Amino acid sequence: MIDFRDLVKRGVHFGHQTSKWCPKMAPYIWGHKNGIHLIDVAKSAQAIERAAKFLEEVAAQEQSILWVGTKKPAQITVETIGKKLNMPYVTYRWIGGTLTNFSQVKKSVTKLLHYEDILAKSENFSYTKKELNVFSKLVGRLQKTVGGIRSLKWPLGAVVLIDVKKEDTALREANIAGIPVISLVDTNSDPSLVDYIIPGNDDSPKAINFVMNYLAEAVERGKQTAETEKKKVIAAAEAKKKAALEAKAMKKEEAPKVAESKKEVKKVAPKVAEKKEASQEDAEKEPAKKAAAKTTEKKEVAKKTSDKKEAQADK
C-alpha cells in the first residue's frame, strides 16, 4: 500500500482553485484551503493501486501501453518511462487519428524511418550538404511528433494520460477505439470518460513523476511475469520434444528385437499348425475309437453269456 505521507510530500493532494472546479470531481475532494481544493490522498492511493494492478495484468498479457503527456511538467517523465519500458509514448503533440486512423499516421512514421535511413547511409548517396541538412531538419520535426509512436503495436492494452483537459483528443479517440484509459485527473477536469481515475495534481512534476513511476513499476512486473510464462511454455515444449525423441530412439532400439521375435514366431508357426492338425485328427478319431471300444465290449459280454448258457446246457 502507498504511504499517504509520500503523496503529501510530492503535493499530489493539491488541486486547482475552488472557482475553477468540476462538480464531477466532488467525491475525490477532501476540502479546501486558501481558495484551493485539497484532494483526498486515501482515495488517490486506492486509485493508484487499482490502476497499477490493471496495468500489470495488461503487461502480463504482452499488450502494448501508450503513455501520453504533452504538457511540460510531464514530458521528461513520460519519455523516460516510454524508453525504459520500450513502449510507445507521445510528449510533443497529439496527432489526430493516432488511434482511430493509424494507417494514415503510420505514413509519417515510415517517412521518418526513410529519412533516418538516408542520413545513416549518406555516404552511399550523392546528396549535397544542403539536401542532407533539409533531411536532418525533417527528421528532427518528425521525431518530435511521431518518434515515440514508431513502436506502437495493435491491439493496444491501455492508454495512460496526464491531464484529461489537455489530452482531450487522445481521450476521445481512446473511447471511440474502445481502449481503457488511465489518467491523472485534477479538480478542474471532467473524469466521466476515464476508466481508471487517479485524482491528483497534474501540474507538479514531482507528483506526476511519483504516480507515473509507480505505474511503470507495475508494468515492469507484468512484463517479467510474461517472460517467465514464456520461459515455462518454451521449457514445456522442449520437454515434449525431448520425450518424443527418446520415444523414437527407444523404438529404433526395439525394432531389431521385434524383428527377431517375428522370425521366431514364423519358425514356430508351422510346428504349432502341425500340432493343431494332429489334435484335430485325434479329436475326429476319438468318437470312432469309442464306438469300436463299445462294440468290442458288447461282443465280449455276448460271448460270455453264450458261454454260460452252453455250460448250463451241458450240465
Give the C-alpha separation, 73 to 203, whole Å.
Answer: 6
Assigned domain for 31 exists: yes
Q: What is the DSSP letter of 63?
A: -
For residue 275, what pLDDT is reported?
72
For residue 236, what pLDDT is reported?
84
Residue 308 burial by Cβ neighbours in a 10 Å radius (0-12, 13-18, 19+): exposed
Assigned domain for 262 exists: no
Which is more confident, 32 or 312?
A: 32
Residue 129 has pLDDT above 70, yes or no: yes
Assigned domain for 286 exists: no
Residue 181 has pLDDT above 90, yes or no: yes
For residue 49, what pLDDT is reported?
92
Residue 124 has pLDDT above 90, yes or no: no
For residue 179, what pLDDT is reported?
92
Summarize pLDDT for 197-253 with one digit per residue, the tens: 999 888 888 999 999 999 999 999 998 988 888 888 888 888 888 888 887 777 777
3-state class (DSSP) for residue 154: coil
For residue 55, what pLDDT is reported?
92
Assigned domain for 65 exists: yes
- Beta carbons of 69 and 75 less than 8 angstroms apart: yes
Assigned domain for 305 exists: no
DSSP alpha helix (H) spans, the chain? 4-9, 41-60, 72-85, 102-120, 129-146, 168-177, 205-314
Give how far Cα 230 sits from Cα of 60, 83, 170, Å. Answer: 10, 23, 33
Give how far Cα 63 sits from Cα of 51, 163, 226, Å. Answer: 15, 23, 10
For residue 315, what pLDDT is reported?
57
3-state class (DSSP) for residue 138: helix
- Predicted confidence band of residue 180 (pLDDT cuts 50, 70, 90): very high
pLDDT (mean) for 167-184? 91
**Residue-range definition of the domain harbouring residue 129:** 4-231
Residue 33 has pLDDT above 90, yes or no: no
- Predicted confidence band of residue 126 (pLDDT cuts 50, 70, 90): confident
- Predicted confidence band of residue 282 (pLDDT cuts 50, 70, 90): low
Least confident piece of the model among 169-178, 201-210, 290-299 = 290-299
Give the C-alpha separation, 123 to 126, whole Å.
Answer: 7
pLDDT (mean) for 84-99? 89
Assigned domain for 190 exists: yes
Give the C-alpha separation, 138 to 134, whole Å.
Answer: 6
3-state class (DSSP) for residue 294: helix
pLDDT (mean) for 10-27? 84
Looking at the 3D structure of the chain, how many domains does it have? 1
- Predicted confidence band of residue 132 (pLDDT cuts 50, 70, 90): confident
For residue 268, what pLDDT is reported?
65
Q: What is the CATH number of the domain that holds 175?
A: 3.40.50.10490
Assigned domain for 281 exists: no
Give the C-alpha separation, 23 to 41, whole Å.
Answer: 18
How far apart are the two ends of the chain, measured CA to CA in Å?
A: 133
Assigned domain for 263 exists: no
Query: What value does the mean pLDDT of the chain take?
Result: 84
